[in-house]
Amino acid sequence: MDDYRSLLVLDEIARNGNVTQRDLSRTLGIALGLVNSYIKNLALKGYITVSAIPRKRYRYYLTPKGFREKTRLALDHLKNFTNLYRTARRDFRELFFAIEKAGIKRVALCGVDEITEIAYLSSKEVDVELSGVVDDEHAGTRFFDYRVLPIKDATGLGAELFVITTFRGGDELSERLVMAGIEKDRICDISEGGWLKKIRKER
């Protein structure tokens, strides 16, 4: 995660040297204090230089060493994502075939990120209807042909099973689903099957 966040910071600085730490915090979803820590660390390693400009602001520049590091981190991230995709695709395929075999016909997804897209693709390989997608952070946005709903509306989807499909806080999402009226035994968190451990080993 540290390498990935460093990559994001370096990429933003490469695109806009006038970016502020507050801008980085807002764009990347990282606490302001943590952004400051990354900036100091990257400068200490010689990946960026910092120069003061009027009104107590700073301008950031990537050094040649910083450009090389950004390229290295991007390649590593691509390799890791390829491994992640391969492992997640296999595990979601197995999960949805098991769901179909169990006679479950209507499934909803909970949590929206890159992993959710892999789950969606896997769901299309079986005779299971995707009844909707819920996620408080992305409520109101579109996910393929579905409008993402807040978790409080989960019971209205008529799903027999909710599959949590995100890196972020599976336990918290399970709790929110239960609070919304979904029985615990109707919630499946794919991370409980150990696939996150698998991808760490492959990396």
Tens-place pLDDT, residues 147-175: 999 999 999 999 999 999 876 667 888 99
26 confidence band (pLDDT: 50, 70, 90) = confident
Span(s) in the chain for CATH 3.40.50.720: 81-202
pTM over 0.85, yes/no? no
Ranges for all domains in the chain classified under CATH 1.10.10.10: 2-62
Q: What is the CATH number of domain 81-202?
A: 3.40.50.720
pLDDT confidence of residue 203: 35
Q: Assign 27 a pLDDT band (cuts: 50, 70, 90).
A: confident
Q: Report how far apart, in Å, the C-alpha atoms of 89 and of each of 44, 94, 116, 125, 183 are.
A: 39, 9, 11, 11, 27
Q: Which stretches does DSSP call E strand in the chain?
A: 48-53, 57-62, 106-110, 129-134, 142-143, 146-147, 161-164, 187-189
Amino acid at the residue 18: N
Domain 2-62 falls in which CATH fold?
Arc Repressor Mutant, subunit A (1.10.10)
Q: How many CA atoms lie within 13 A of 133 on its CB side?
A: 23
**Cβ–Cβ under 8 Å, residues 151 and 169:** no
